Structure 1
Amino acid sequence: MKTPELSACHELETLLPAYVERSLPAAEAQRVAAHLPTCLSCQLQVTQLRALTDDLDAALPEVPRTALRANFMALLEQEKQLLKPAVAPAAPVQPEAKEAKMVSMWPTALANGWMRIAASIVLIAAGVLLGRNLSWKDGESSSVATNAKPAPAELAQSMRQASASDRIQLVSNTSKQTEPGDPTVQVLLNTLNFDASPNVRLAACEALYRLREDPQVREGLVHSLSIQTDPNVQITLIDMVVAMRVRRAVPQLEKLSKRADALPVVRAQAEAGIGKLI
């Protein structure tokens, strides 16, 4: 049986996302403010939520320009047409969210505050990633862009010397020229595990998903679950192993669902992933 203090804490917990967003009515905001000094658990969750909000604010200036978004939607439409049977459509098909997602397993709980905030950050990060990957189509070619696929050693050297935005472009361009079984796959896995930038690691996730038929990709994603600390990358990896039906990821997901340093939204996503794989 829950004590009155625990019951009050559980009730106020659902208000924390709106409290951080400053969207609570004044009376409820005062209740939360009065509760926080007496509850370390709620203080920690508020700190984590504010960190997520700061990540979102930091990403907003990098949202792709209108021209880049238009380029992306045009490419997306081309990909959708390639996936359809060779029959002329009766009418233009509008882009739908479920077709546009590379990996989409958000649980129903997305409606609550935790999931909305985390999902927003992931989507913003994806927008930044797509905008940068498409920048070369908008006349902004980077000095590291090249038509020839570099050898694995050359790619690794370039990754160490390039800026974060250039590393994203290198990962994207290289993955499009790489086939499963290529030694370059290991460079992409190293980038996923050790690159300092979460955006570059997200780009590596996207690249490795294209190469998911390579057996070492599945093993690499499972291993990476145990070492990632960025919530966006953690959630992306969870969705990827679930989409790829990598059942041997279940033990790592169980560990992640119990990690004290993982955000509640990440632990919830790991638990949801376990349910889909077992």
Structure 2
Amino acid sequence: MADSETPEVIDPKTDKVHTWPHLVRAEFICGLLIFIGLFVWSLLLDAPLEEPADPTKTPNPSKAPWYFLGLQEMLVYFDPWMAGVVLPSLIIVGLMLIPYIDINPKGNGYYTWKERKFAIANFCFGFLVLWVSLIIVGVFLRGPGWNFFAPWQEWDPHKVVALTNIDLNIFLADLTGLDFLRNTAIWAVFGLGLIGAYYFSAVIYWKLKSKKSKFLQELGPVRFGITAFLFLTMMALPIKMILRWTFNIKYVVALPWINMNI
């Protein structure tokens, strides 16, 4: 067989394709399917215009635009300064820091899960599981009085939910019988220590894993510290949500002297 007739051997690991038409065609089809889904949904779901705004009549529930409902839902679990200022600021700062703390060059120009498990899993959990789910809850499951309604329940404006939210120290005092935990000043020390221990777990992880992990050695202590702080702060949201849902915990620690509750 002549050299000109020798079939070309293509390595699937290094082979590349052009953006057009391969990528653009797939993105166009995905966009078209989403458009069809939204179009059908708009035909099935009534969304009539309401009456003109009346300053003497407050709607119940009063909801922010859908893209802010994640923040409004977080107000159920955190104080306004935390849900409306600190957490959104950390989200913005965290997104800005990604190019500086992400040292993994793999995945540039191609899609891969195997080589970027931590980054992709973090994004999917933070955006889809947390942020998008909070918006869905705020749009579809929060009714009058900002009460929780299942999809099959009618939004009854007269529904009264008898919930007694308590701080973590009161819960632990009732559970253990240690009445000194009811003291706000004493619990402030314990509570802040508990939060400090939560973040200090990153230091322990670094001490245990850094010498054995090549990835952590390349990441370095500064980038690891920033990543761990943002990750633990993100995980604090579902932890606080679970505490509220299961034990009606309102605050982990309350600092009434400076009007700050966590």
Tell me whether the two structures share a fold, i.e. TM-score over 0.5: no
More helix per residue: 1
